[in-house]
Structure 1
Amino acid sequence: MLNPENQPTPPPVQLTTKQQRFVEEYCVDWNCTQAAIRAGYAKKNAGQEGSRLYKKVEIKSAIDARLKELSLSAGQVTKLISDIAETRLNDFLTVKEVEKKTKIPQPLAETIRLLEAQIAFDEEYAARSVEVLGLLDEAKETYLASKQQAIKHKRLEVLRHQMTLERDPEAFIMVAGPPELVKRVDLDLVKIAEAKEGNRIKSWQPSEFGIKVEMYDAAAALRDMGRVHGIFEKDNSQANAIPVINAKVEVITSGVPIARSEKEAAADV
């Protein structure tokens, strides 16, 4: 094919490996100097080299083409903003019913009664078990001595409780009570990872309080959607506006509620 001057069209210029790397790195942060450094050019001349490279027609064309490849279409942008606007903390929370151990007060008089009943049982068991085992003489004495040692510890425990009760007739101890069902809110890490993959949330990472989730501002996304659809202006002149998504941070913890955001999240379930 000939150009208007009947001259053959020159073949496209092939970029070197370092030039192609510069194109890729420039598309990361649009910084000529840093892109040149990351592409492997000398750091001391990176500013000049980056500026020179950027001015080359073939490199500028390669950058424009690469940015076009990386850019989202209008439909993709609208879909992403819509997903962000609809995303909320409850999407990643799972409510479960779990058993919780409880403690109840037990008067010392009742504690003493239960211990004495256990001592009587242990003594009877020791005597009868000797017959079952068929122990005689020294073996019998050794066996009974070991059993009496354990019984003696329980008798000392009874004595301590009796002395405490003499000083305080209202004394009690806390003992295990019946378990009760309570609701617990857990963070679904699978859903979090899927949301990050779909760009519905900005980031997530472990923290000292549990899992820290950084979300985009849903209210800002809704306003951007309104601008895209021209809700805020009669002439629909904002339909072509470029949406800007702001971000805010929420912290969700698993286990014992310790972060304010988790309390709010649990209340919202």
Structure 2
Amino acid sequence: MKLTVKQKKFADEYIESGNATQAAIKAGYSKQSARFSGAENLTKPNIKNYIDERMSEMEAKRIMSATEAVQLLTSIARGEVKETVVVATPVGVETTEKEADLKTRITATKEILKRYPGSDKLAEQQLRKAIAEADILEAKAKELQGGGDNQDDMLRGIADSLGGIE
């Protein structure tokens, strides 16, 4: 069901202020019935849905998506984003635009690479360690279930392989 002009105005005012009574007054409801009308409007499914949808849209616009973040990092890493720098001169102060410095570009590149775990040596080591720890736990479980002496040898071998991993 569509909203009337008055209901839409109420919903928009409510989103802005968070006050149902004031929103009702600004939407054109009488001051005497504004408190009741505001509360009643908030229980109507079509108005409530409109408010929820608008709030979701506003929230989505305020939060950067992962794609946007990677795009920004990429443009910084490529030197496409300029930053304003204030420079003192003999005559006063000037502002100028410059590319991000090398350190900033490297940091942006590292941040991008963090999102691609297949190319990260640290992630590979952490995965190797997790697999080895899982093997140790599995061997311990087998030993507790009545396994033989082979498990002790297997545990020592796995523990040795973990030696240099942090």
After TM superposition, is the score higher than 0.5?
A: no
TM norm structure 1: 0.26
Higher RCO (CA-CA < 8 Å; seq separation 6+): 1
TM norm structure 2: 0.40
Per residue, is there more strand in 1 or in 2? Answer: 1
Per residue, is there more helix in 1 or in 2? Answer: 2
